[in-house]
Structure 1
């Protein structure tokens, strides 16, 4: 059932990744599996490369602009306090960016630090996992806002 998770980029290309929000210039915007920070998204770079530095400068620009457009969509739809951007590649060794909304309601000991310091179970616990039943409306709103932003900002 979750075979698409074994190859998230390939499944996005094939059209069977249910988390895809939009095909962008530099890859695919997807809603994150855990939604304990509502609106968490990822930009999956496509074509697949190891890191931002493997791209030509113009393609780097596309990736970073796409990442910021996802942040704009999250801001418009979810109204967070701010948005954090994170490009790591330590676990999944291909270019991707995490776009995390941060909220006023987060505990003080959490909001000052990277989201990776949240309890490990937040990333896998069932109640936070993306599903169309729980997050379908959020997904639709993010898709609509991304389409609007791409139309306005892509030349």
Structure 2
């Protein structure tokens, strides 16, 4: 599937993950799916999708919350090991896509100094939409594979 020409999976990222049609999915986790981000201007950016659409973290029972937050941290740890950023930022908003999902962003020393103290969302729209940074298997497939492998190894230790 060419993700640049057939984006039907984007209409429902979770359901397409269950059907095996979401090309961004790296790993099925206890609480949902680890996916590589659509844009990679910060290499290694990932998203944790829940196994079903919840409106917020508070809709999950305590065990589900624990599983979700552990899975989110496993993605972050994999990013640290594979990409070697200076840190990882975690964010859960649900404002644009009104269902629970967590963004896991690596932050790098090479980022412009004026960007470092601010959330990634304050990067210019050009960074988010520039075709140069959009995920492609050719450019980012190796990174996706390394992250997938590391997440699998961490899950074996954690579960």
Q: TM-score, normalised by structure 1?
A: 0.98
- The answer to whether residue 88 in structure 2 is matched with residue 83 in structure 1 is yes
Coordinate RMSD, CA, aligned: 0.6
Structure 1: distance between partners of 2:156 and 2:26:
15
- The answer to whether residue 96 in structure 2 is matched with residue 123 in structure 1 is no
Corresponding residue for residue 144 of structure 2: 139
Choose from 148, 151, 154 the match for 2:156. 151
Unaligned runs of 5+ in 1: none
4+ aligned runs moved over 6 Å, structure 1: none
- The answer to whether residue 53 in structure 2 is matched with residue 48 in structure 1 is yes
Structure 2: distance between partners of 1:21 and 1:68:
15
Choose from 8, 16, 19 the match for 2:13. 8
Structure 1: distance between partners of 2:146 and 2:158:
18
Structure 1: distance between partners of 2:18 and 2:130:
28
SS in 1 for 2:69: helix
Choose from 38, 50, 57 the match for 1:33. 38
SS in 2 for 1:113: coil
The alignment covers a number of residue pairs equal to 154
Deviation at 1:124, TM superposition (A): 1.3
- The answer to whether residue 107 in structure 2 is matched with residue 102 in structure 1 is yes
